[in-house]
Chains A and B, each alone.
Chain A
Amino acid sequence: MNDMRVLERTVVSEAAKIKAEGVSVHYGSTQALKEVSVDILDRMVTAFIGPSGCGKSTFLRCLNRMNDTVASARVTGRITLDGEDIYAREVDPVQLRARVGMVFQKPNPFPKPIYDNVAYGPRIHGLVRGKAEMDALVEASLRRAALWDEVKDRLTSPGTGLSGGQQQRLCIARAIATSPEVLLMDEPCSALDPIATAQVEELIDELRSEFAVVIVTHSMQQAARVSQKTAFFHLGNLVEYGETGQIFTNPGDPRTESYISGRIG
């Protein structure tokens, strides 16, 4: 089955941006993720779905080494970004996270002005020189996050004073300001109203023209709406990975079917 929507955007790619091979994660003695192998395609939105505790967020957090911050977590297997092992000793996790950005479930702007929220990443990574260049980057990032028109007159007000939807778009602007190659989103819309959700979803679809997006969501409809590829996780296993239209009309695995159609499984 072909996803007709892919044709709407000019950029289509079959190239793997991230390759995971046999990735397992243990938290202490419990295994949260079991031998997951998957290719995340460049310039595509990949949705991770599955019941709570299925390992989807754990796997997402492996992709930019967020699990490094969890003392009990042990990650095995191999994850490569453009063919380079991201767990190699010489890789600096902070540099990696500039390339693989992340947006969280709850909007978490810094308690700083809107401008500084966006400027923070580029500043610490030394991506720009001078005020003019920074101004241009902040504006461009806010525009790409579809927030510029709403905040251009109050860039010095705190980011925490924005509405929930605006805060989340601010976090997206902050994440894309470092020009990442991959954007990870962990339930980015679960705290947003339907209108803010629609704005973020439209944004996700636009961002796809520039980089790979991976989104973890509990909303089946959201996965169906925004993604081209869907991966279903269950009990730490990657059960099924395929084209989103196929997963939602004709899934191959009975566990996928049970889960997406709201059955006891």
Chain B
Amino acid sequence: MTLEPHILTAFDKDLEAVQAQVMRMGGLVEKALLEAVEALEMRDEALAEKVRVGDAAIDALEELIQTECARILALRSPTATDLRTVLTVMRLAAALERSGDYAKNLAKRALVLMHMAPVNGAPGAIRRMARAVVALLSDALDAYIARDAAKAAEVRLRDAEVDQMYGALFRQFLTYMLEDPRTITPCMHLHFIAKNIERVGDHATAIAEQVIYLVEGAVPGAARPKVDSVTEG
């Protein structure tokens, strides 16, 4: 639904500004994730360090967005779509901030893994999973900007693929560790990395659900298909 502008133009400017900040935050998080897995694969210490330090900017942006949203709530008393927009922006910012933390954690683990023997094929598999998750996140944010509930619903369902990738990696790392206990330390790190990327997928799903709330006024009710390959092992 495209809405006409507010009579009070400053209100539109406030809403646009805070939404632009969320998009900037989304861009930073996507970049951090991709650079963190690249640093892992290429054993690039400088790049990993950059991601680790860069998380502060994401955190600062989140704080800025939350403060700005509180100001809009206090001063503009938004209603209807405006209210749902502000609530959605707040939740998006929180989800992106957590995702940024996972990217930072990934970079930290990459810094540790650089000094260990490589685990066969793991960085490539992690990279594929990270790319899938970044695509998910980026599509969820696109759905937000376009107010596209259908696209958001599709993102929500696609998270199952990420869960599947995580399940496959989990079993793979388990096998390595059983075969050769010397791989336990790097495999534990790699497992946490995979788990964290999977968590980012969950945040992308949460963003997609927020988009559906924003557009339709209600959160999607039906449970999405869950792939729990870990406990079903």
* Contact A261:B81 (CB < 8 A) given known A249-B217, A250-B218: yes
- Taking a contact as CB atoms under 8 Å apart, the answer to whether B3 and A221 are in contact is no
Q: Does residue B223 face the partner (Cβ distance < 8 Å to A)?
A: no
Which residues from B are CB-within-8-Å of A256?
80
Within the complex, the shortest CB–CB distance from A253 to chain B, in Å, comes to: 11
Which residues from A are CB-within-8-Å of B82?
261
The answer for the CA separation of A256 and B79 in the assembled complex, in Å, is 11
- Taking a contact as CB atoms under 8 Å apart, the answer to whether A262 and B6 are in contact is yes
Q: Does residue B11 face the partner (Cβ distance < 8 Å to A)?
A: yes
Q: Does residue B52 face the partner (Cβ distance < 8 Å to A)?
A: no
- Taking a contact as CB atoms under 8 Å apart, the answer to whether B4 and A248 are in contact is no
Complex interface residues of chain A between 243 and 262 (CB less than 8 A to chain B): 248-251, 254, 256-258, 260-262
- Taking a contact as CB atoms under 8 Å apart, the answer to whether A258 and B218 are in contact is no
* Contact A262:B80 (CB < 8 A) given known A249-B217, A250-B218, A254-B1: no
- Taking a contact as CB atoms under 8 Å apart, the answer to whether B83 and A220 are in contact is no
Q: What size tier do the contact residues of chain B reach?
A: 10 to 19
Within the complex, the shortest CB–CB distance from B58 to chain A, in Å, comes to: 30
The answer for the CA separation of A256 and B217 in the assembled complex, in Å, is 14
The answer for the CA separation of A265 and B78 in the assembled complex, in Å, is 16
The answer for the CA separation of A221 and B79 in the assembled complex, in Å, is 10
Q: Which residue of A lies closest to B77 (CB)?
A: A221
Q: Does residue B117 face the partner (Cβ distance < 8 Å to A)?
A: no
Which residues from B are CB-within-8-Å of A221?
77
The answer for the CA separation of A220 and B83 in the assembled complex, in Å, is 14
**Of the residues B1, B7, B11, B80, contact of A249 by C-beta under 8 Å:** B80
Q: Does residue A264 face the partner (Cβ distance < 8 Å to B)?
A: yes
Interface CB pairs A-B, < 8 A, 8: A248-B79, A250-B80, A258-B3, A261-B3, A261-B81, A262-B6, A264-B6, A264-B7
Chain B residues near A (Cβ < 8 Å): 1, 3-8, 11, 77-84, 217-218
